[in-house]
Amino acid sequence: MSAKPLYGSRASVAVTLDSLADDVIADSTEYDNTTDLALTKIIEVNATGSNAAEAGSLIVYARESLITATAETDENLTRIGSIILNGTTAVRGVVRYDSPAPFFKLAFKQVSSSGYALGGSGNSAFILSENIQDV
């Protein structure tokens, strides 16, 4: 017997990122990891800035909870990673959320280099689960 990764299906994250304003947080719907039992969540983010001079980032957080509908406040979010923006050029980044909480939401915060929002289109996120299988 040996352990190998077992990946779930890639799914869209239910969150509105288009035109996300600077220093604003957008939350996804809540995920229930008590049924999925994922050891890791892999998150792919596609983002575009709204201005050619944009050099900020889109930060990905987890809003964690032990029971449903009781997620953390903004001050206590768990940082997962960030996607560096490149003006209005579309960028893609992948971040890993290891040991996800029983319940969580993904929280996305636009941190602009000069007060810009994200672009009006082309911004999205996807998620998949990673587990271990015994083969």
CATH number at residue 8: 2.60.120.260
Give the Cα separation of 81 and 112 in Å (integer): 15
Task: Spell out the per-residue pLDDT of the chain, length 135, in tens.
Answer: 789 999 999 999 999 999 999 999 999 999 999 998 999 999 999 999 999 999 999 999 999 999 988 878 888 899 999 999 999 999 999 999 999 999 999 999 999 999 999 999 999 999 999 999 988
* pTM (2 d.p.): 0.94
Residue with tokens 């889109």: 58
Helix (H) or strand (E) holding 111: strand 103-111
Q: Which sign, positive or negative, has the C-alpha torsion 56, 30, 62, 74? A: positive
Span 40-71, pLDDT tens digits: 999 999 999 999 999 999 999 999 999 988 87
Count how many domains the chain has: 1
- Per the structure, the complete domain to which residue 61 belongs is given by 3-134
Burial letters for 23-51: b for 16+ Cβ neighbours within 10 Å, e otherwise? Answer: eeebbbebbebeeeebebbbbbbbbbbbb
116 Cβ neighbours under 8 A, 6+ residues apart: 22, 49, 50, 51, 53, 54, 56
